[in-house]
Structure 1
Amino acid sequence: MLPAVEKPRDQVAILIELKVRETPLFWPDCCIYKVPERFRKGNEEFYKPLVVSIGPYHFHQGSFPQMQIFKLKYLEAFLSRNHLSLDQCLGLVRTWEEIARRYYADPIDLSSDKFAELMLVDAIFVLELLLRSWFSKYVDDCDRIYGKLHMIQDVMHDVILIENQIPFFVLEGLYDLVDSSSKGNFKLVELTHEFFKRYEKIDMFGAGHAPVPGVEHGVQHFVDFIRYYYLPPPPREDVNHEKVYEIPPSVTMLDDAGVKFVSTSKTFLLDIQFNNGRLVIPKFTVDDLTETLLRNLLVFEQCHDHHMRYISQFVFLMGCMMRTSKDADLLTEHEIISSMLGINYELSALINRIGQGVGFDGRTYYYLSLSKKLNAYCKDPWHKWKANLKRDYFNTPWKFASTIAAIILLVLTLIQAICSILSV
């Protein structure tokens, strides 16, 4: 019997196996993402750095050359003030390389030396930003970032971009080397809190979160840090676990039904409550950075495996309620929204632009109970009739007085008519 002749392998199969072996490993640590095309298309300005690249996604040889000089100046000042050697810091950063690479969802095509240099220079630049924000004595006349108003505004835009992040543990490791006389009693999360409190006003929507006790469990990067300040403080009980959502009525429809709008600053931004015809909404300010911030928070939520996509649902809710400029006008009148954008048409358009492409993926809907209550209230004809009566006849003292006078006159006329009939 002739020996079996081994059939030659299919060359395509060999090629596929080679490609499989060359694919990068996926790690559960990844939390820094590139923006999906459905968000990026036509909105590049909200995801691309203006003046400084931080981390590897926007690192290119020669990019932002002026800022690269500033980074090295900050590096020099940091090392000198804390009596640190460059070799000491670089050696420490090298020990973190494998873990740091895992934080990035896309593979980083940089050599080990280049990656370590990037992490060190960028991390110390960020630490100096934080330190100089609080300790003004470190800002000298030659500081081209804090010494120029337009520059720090552009830098603030760049440090909140999801593609422009560096792992927070790298910042913490280098911050531990800072001399205690240079940082006082500040932990890094506390210093970061003060930084964003000043420039992003996170204290305006972070009820119960200062001085950042809940962040201690391990923040991943700046976008993750800011998102934390939007979240309800634990325990988060007011969550409906039905995997459905309901579209709420617009602000104008609610106003027509007689809903009373109340602003508050005593709770977290997402905590919108409706009871007995009163809709309580935490006040917030919309400025030039709001769209950039919300867009990058949304991308982080959409890409990351968050159990509850709070920011996405908040934007969806506000987009449904604020459909026209009239809706925005009403929220502004009731001091719920303070807009620095000019006309309120831009405000409603902004909220609806941000919400495009956002999905919940069958997740639990935080505002389901609220939306059901609002819809039920608007559908009750008694509420609308009562609101119209109040608006048309009792909304000013003069109308109130004239309406009462008309009623009295009608009653007297009716009595006179009855008396006339009885006397016949």
Structure 2
Amino acid sequence: MTERSSALAPFRIRSYRFQWPADVLTSWAFEMEFLILGWYILVETGSVVMLTLFGSLMYLGTLVAPMFGVFGDRIGHRNLLAGMRAAYALLATTMMTLALTGLINPLYVFVIAAIFGTIRPSDLGVRGALVASTMPPAYLVSAMSVSRTTMDSARIAGALTGAGMFAALGMGPAYIVIASLYVASTILTLCISPSSETRSPDEAGAAYASSSPWRDLSDGIAYIWNTPRLQAAMWIAFLVNLTAYPFTSNLLPYIAREVHQTDQTGLGYLSASFALGALAASMVLSHLSGVKLARVMIIATAAWYAMLMVFAQAQSLPTAIACLMLTGFAQSLSMIALAVILMRTASERFRGRVMGVRMMAIYSLPVGLLVAGPLIELMGFMPTATLYAAIGLSFTLLIAVRWREDLWRPLAPANTM
């Protein structure tokens, strides 16, 4: 195995040896919270509409994600990420206290979810920008693939552990673990040396001293709009969050309870199966070099929607688990390829802002969720999921045709990195 394609090569970089476990702990805590709070809201309110509202609040911060990218470019991505994770720990401790004292109720959950959702959506973009700023270009595909395992392993371990602890011990003890994970993650993030970034926070601050954050943001958006491969990737990100992610994330508690008549353990199996497929794809891609990433992104996105159509028709829990595993595999290939295209082809000066706009594209997820809730009550789960997948597949093909020179041509920059 060559040094370039080795999955362990990124760990030669000191900052990555701290960032990877910090990201793992954060992702595990995220997944535990999503499942525990999603199940709590569904059981307490008995409404899929309230579940989709809760899920939408968790992505509230996508509207301000580009500004997180701007400030990451200014103060350093490590400093920003550490501050965000300290805030997660504070919010989790608050939720833990409410649960242990018996004061928890859906209103408090919605309020805390709104605060948490203002910060959390930017975590993925900031951590990606930090990897890109500390990693040699030859290691970037491997680094992003291995970094992706933090989320995939979280959906396996976090889903099964969180669901199991919630069912066996209750919300309070489960939140003791969640808060501890966030604290440990914050400490590990602070262990990353600021000097490991390509430019130190002081240098970045000096570079931006004469410009305003809003000017920085507008320059970043203009840069993306005028770079065809970046614009195409952003439209893919917007599309999958609108029409694909709702059915493999926030709607899973409803699918588990109402469609497949299972409990928290079954919910854990569904979530973990999607992650297991994604983890397998991450490991496969981490060992490959010379792949045509833009082509991988298009083909994998189309396969993702095809598998969602099959998942929508699944009549049994084992069949749904198998479908979600294949869906997760396609999803991971698509999103890793997209992230590497954005980070490797974006100018270093605009990298944080590009990833910030990428996170803003996630705002289509709560929009998709809010529309899906009433549609499910009106039409049922199967027709709604099938409709979403058909729309997504159609627009994926349109994007591939519209930007075929930038996404499909073998010698296009997005395919020759």
Question: TM-score if structure 1 supplies the norm length?
Answer: 0.24
Taking structure 2 as the reference length, what is the TM-score of the superposition?
0.24
Higher helix share goes to which structure? 2
Structure with the bigger percentage of strand: 1
Structure ranking higher on relative contact order (CA contacts 8 Å, 6+ apart) = 2
Q: Which has the larger radius of gyration?
A: 1
